[in-house]
Chains A and B, each alone.
Chain A
C-alpha cells in the first residue's frame, strides 16, 4: 500500500511535497495555537477596536534595534469621526520571545507564556500582526486558534463521510440489484440538491442554545451527511471490479461471510485510493465549515473559526474601511491549496501505471 516506491514517487512530485509541508506546518501551529498566539483569543480590548495591523520595525532613527513596534496614539478624523491609529514614535516596544502574557488554557493546563509578544500591559498598547476586530481582539491570535475548528472539523468530517461512503458504496457494489439501485438513486437525489441551502437547512436543525462544542460536532455531522456521496460512488465502482477478482470468489467459496469479505478483503484492497479520496475531500470540508460559519449558522462567538472570522468582513464597507479583516481568508486559501497539492501528489504516487512517465 504505502511502499517505498510510493514514497519515492511522491518525493518527485514537488508541489505535493510543498503541500505536505504546509499541511504539517498548519497542524503544528494548530496544536500549539494558544502558545503561538500573543494574546488570548477571547479577551476584548476596548482601546484597540478596529486597530490596523502594527508595523514591525528594525531601525529607529537609523539605528538598528532588532524587531520592535511603536506605541500608538488615537485620533478622531475630524470629517468622518472614525478613529485613526497613528504610530507614536516616542514609545518603543521590543518584540521578545517567551513573554508572559494573558492566561490561556493549554489542553487542561493553565499557562501564560506566549511564543512572542511585547512586555507591556495590553491596555496600553498591543502587537497586532493582523490588526484587531470590533471588540479589540487580536485577529492574528483568533486566526491561529480558529484553525483548531477549521482544520479538525474538516478532518473529522472527512473521516465520518469516508466511513459512511465506504460502507454504503461497498454494500451497493457488492450486493448489486435492488439495494444498489436504491442507494444510487438516493445518492443522486442527495447530490442534486443545491449544497448550500441543504447545509443551511440542516444547520438550522442544530438548536441555537447548544454549547459551542456541540455545535462544532453538529456541523461535522452536517458536513459528512452530505459529503459521503462522492466517496460512495468511487467505492462502489471499485467494489464492482474487485468482486469479480478470483480471491473474492475464492473467499465466498470457502464460506466467508459477506460482511467479512467487504471489511477484510474489499475495503483494504482499495485503501490507497481511499487515502487519496480523503485527502482530496478535506478542502471541500474546510470550505463547507467556512461557508456555514460565514453564513452565521456554524460556530458561534466567542469561539472562533476561519469562516466565522470572515463573517466580520461580510459587508463591502467593512472591507473598505478595515481591509485587514479578510486576512483569515488567506489561511483558508492556503490550506485548501496545500491539501489539493498533497492529494494530487499522493494520487500520482499511488498510481502504479505512472512509474515510467515522469511529470
Chain B
C-alpha cells in the first residue's frame, strides 16, 4: 500500500546522511560499528534499513538521535536535516523528541513502570507543545483513539504493566506521533511482538503515516516487513551499506551477492525435508571485520580484488550497489 504513497510523494530530500563513521575505541581494538555510510530519506517516504544483528543498524539510528556520546565514540560525517547539519550540534537537542522521534524495540521496557500511561503521554505533550494540562489530556486521549486503544479514558489512568505488549507499542507510536514529527525512526518495533500483533502494528504505522505524512526510517531484519511497508531499502553489512534502492528493484532483481543471499534465505521457497538455504559462514565480529569488502569470505563470487579494496558505490538501474562484480560492467 505504501508504494502508492511513494510515487505520489515529491522526491525531496528531507534528511541526508553522508559518509557517517561511528568508531568505538575499546581495549580490544577499534570497533567500526558504522563505517562510512551515505543514504537519504525523501519526504513522506518509508526507508527500511535491513541487515543482520550487529551490522550497525541500531547504532546508525542512535547516532541520528544524538544518543551516542562523542567522545568516547568517534563520529565523523554529516547528518543533514532539511539542509542543516545536526551532527554534533545543539540542534539535535532541539529536534529530537519533537521533529525527529523514535519508537523502540521493547514496548514493555519503553515505559517507566512507576507512572500512568496518561502521565507519561501528557509529560511529552506539555514539554513540546506548551499546552495546559487539561488540553494535553484531551490530546492524549485523541491520540489513543487514533491508535485504536479502546476505552481510552480508563487506559490513561492505568500503568504499563496493566497492558499487553501490542497495546504498549501502539501507545508508544501514539506518543512518538503526538508532536507531529517530520521523521519517525522505528528501531525494530515489531521484533518483540507476536505475528498477529506485528501485522496490526504495521497496518497502524501505514495508516498513521498517510494521516500524519511523516517520513519514516524503519529498522528491521525481517524482509517480509520490508516488502510490505518500505518504499526504499538500505541493506547493511558489517557497518557498510552494500546496496540501496527501491523496494521493487531490490526484491525483483537484487544485485549484491549478500542481498541475494538474504532473499534466498526466506523460508517460504523451500519444500519440507529440504535444507533451508543460507549464507555460508558467520557474521564477522565487530573486532575482526575482514579487509576489503567485508562480505568476501562468505561470497560465492569473491575475487582477488575483494580482499583488498572496498568497491565504490555504483548506480545500476535504480540502485546503488557496492560490489566489484559490477565494476567492470560500467
Contact = CB atoms under 8 A, between A and B. Distances in A.
Determine if chain A interacts with chain B. Answer: yes
Contact of A253 (B96, B111, B112, B114): B96
A269 to B, nearest CB: 6
A245 B98 contact: no
A254 B112 contact: no
Interface string B89-117: 00001001110011011100111111000
Contacts of B114: 1, 265, 268-269
Contacts of A246: 104-106, 109-110
Contacts of B112: 247, 251, 265, 269
A181 interface: no
Contacts of B93: 255
B153 to A, nearest CB: 23
B67 interface: yes
Contacts of A251: 112
Interface string B71-90: 01000000000000000000
Contacts of B104: 246, 249-250
B97 A269 contact: no
Contacts of A245: 109
B12 interface: no
Contacts of A247: 109-113
Interface in A224-272: 245-247, 249-256, 265, 268-269
A177 interface: yes
A253 B113 CA distance: 18
B124 interface: yes
Interface in B167-219: 172, 175
B96 A250 contact: no
B113 A269 contact: yes
A249 B123 CA distance: 15
A256 B96 contact: no
B113 A177 contact: no
Q: Is the interface of B mostly helix, strand, loop or mixed?
A: loop
Q: Is the interface of A mostly helix, strand, loop or mixed?
A: helix
A250 B105 CA distance: 11
A23 B128 CA distance: 48
A255 B110 contact: no
A320 B186 CA distance: 78
A256 B111 contact: no
Nearest to B92: A255
A253 B67 CA distance: 8
B48 interface: no
Nearest to A265: B112
Interface string B204-247: 00000000000000000000000000000000000000000000
A256 B110 contact: no
Contacts, number: 50
A249 to B, nearest CB: 7
A250 B112 CA distance: 9
A254 B101 contact: yes
Given A177-B72, A269-B113, A254 B67 contact: no
B252 to A, nearest CB: 36
A177 B70 CA distance: 11
A249 B106 CA distance: 11
Given A249-B67, A265-B112, A269-B113, A254 B124 contact: yes
A294 B175 CA distance: 59
A342 B184 CA distance: 49
Nearest to B95: A255
A251 B106 CA distance: 14
Interface in A269-321: 269
Contact of B102 (A1, A253, A265, A269): A253
Interface in A1-22: 1
B202 to A, nearest CB: 20
A256 B124 CA distance: 8
A252 B97 CA distance: 8
B102 A255 contact: no
Contacts of B98: 255
A254 B109 contact: no
A250 B106 contact: no
Interface string B103-141: 011100111111000000001100110000000000000
B109 A253 contact: no
B128 A255 contact: yes
A265 B113 CA distance: 9
Nearest to A271: B114
A256 B109 contact: no
B256 to A, nearest CB: 32
Nearest to A252: B67
A262 to B, nearest CB: 13
B49 interface: no
B22 interface: no
A240 to B, nearest CB: 15
A268 B112 CA distance: 10
A254 B127 contact: yes
B42 to A, nearest CB: 23
B275 to A, nearest CB: 37
Nearest to B179: A254
Nearest to B108: A246
B106 A253 contact: no
B127 A250 contact: no
Nearest to B114: A268
B90 to A, nearest CB: 12
Contacts of B67: 249, 252-253
Given A177-B72, A255-B93, A255-B97, A250 B110 contact: yes
B65 interface: yes
Given A249-B104, A253-B101, A268-B114, 14 more contacts: A177-B72, A246-B106, A247-B110, A250-B102, A250-B104, A250-B172, A251-B112, A252-B67, A253-B96, A254-B101, A254-B124, A255-B98, A255-B128, A269-B113
20 contacts: A1-B114, A245-B109, A246-B104, A246-B106, A246-B109, A247-B109, A247-B113, A250-B172, A252-B67, A253-B65, A253-B67, A253-B97, A253-B101, A254-B128, A254-B175, A255-B96, A255-B127, A255-B128, A269-B113, A269-B114
Interface of A: 1, 177, 245-247, 249-256, 265, 268-269
Q: Which A-B residue pairs are the 3 nearest by beta carbons?
A: A255-B97, A254-B97, A246-B109
